[in-house]
């Protein structure tokens, strides 16, 4: 049976990447709130950096994408953390998740403000999302000895 792709409505002032990010921001199906947060975030990024906010957004996503991660695998009764390359779709998902978690982890200001701070930090290779990426890479590096188990 042939799988069918769903048609996705993308507003003319938005890209597919932005819509996907908005879907990650969204909680309990409240897409208009998520869209408002995203637009507020872009305005705040514009004010802070005086640059094109979409370029900052894309640079932040690109900087937060991990190349390697560890996946647990059971071999001979023991569970090993095996380093593996991350597929592009998962890279995008992890970078979105880490940026949003980093923004949600900070309290005291509106979400648009926190998310703009996190995006600017990620575009400058600092912040919670970049720290998470570096920790993931360090874990993969530390478990490089188990890479030969990846074929199982």
| Percent residues over pLDDT 90 in the chain | 82
This prediction's pTM: 0.87
Q: Which residue shows structure tokens 């979105």?
A: 96
The answer to whether residue 11 scores a pLDDT higher than 90 is no
In 3D space, the residue among 52, 8, 36, 51 whose CA is nearest the CA of residue 115 turns out to be: 36
Residue 78 lies in a domain: yes
Residue 136 lies in a domain: yes
Whether residue 65 is contained in a domain is answered as yes
Half-sphere exposure of 65 (CA within 13 A, CB side): 15
Q: What is the pLDDT of residues 85-135, one digit of tens each?
A: 999 999 999 999 999 999 999 999 999 999 999 999 999 999 999 999 999
Is residue 11 in some structural domain? Answer: no
The CATH number assigned to the domain holding 32 equals: 1.10.455.10
Q: What is the pLDDT of residue 15?
A: 85
> Exposed, middle or buried, 21 (CB in 10 Å: 0-12/13-18/19+)?
buried
Number of domains in the chain: 1
Model pLDDT, residue 25: 94
6 falls within a domain = no
User: What distance lies between CA 108 and its chain's CA centroid?
Assistant: 22
pLDDT of residue 12: 73
Range of 49's domain? 16-151
């Amino acid at each position: 049976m042939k799988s069918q792709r769903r048609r996705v409505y993308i507003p003319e002032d938005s890209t597919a990447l932005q819509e996907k990010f908005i879907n990650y921001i969204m909680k309990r199906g409240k897409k208009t709130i998520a869209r408002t947060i995203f637009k507020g975030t872009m305005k705040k990024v514009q004010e802070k950096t005086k640059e094109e906010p979409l370029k900052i957004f894309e640079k932040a996503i690109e900087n937060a994408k991990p190349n390697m991660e560890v996946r647990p695998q059971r071999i001979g009764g023991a569970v090993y953390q095996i380093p593996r390359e991350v597929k592009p779709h998962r890279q995008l998902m992890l970078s979105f998740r880490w940026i949003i978690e980093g923004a949600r982890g900070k309290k005291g200001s509106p979400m648009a403000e926190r998310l703009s701070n996190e995006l600017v930090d990620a575009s400058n290779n600092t912040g919670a999302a970049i720290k998470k990426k570096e920790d993931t890479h360090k874990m993969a590096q530390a478990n490089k000895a188990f890479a030969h188990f990846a074929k199982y």
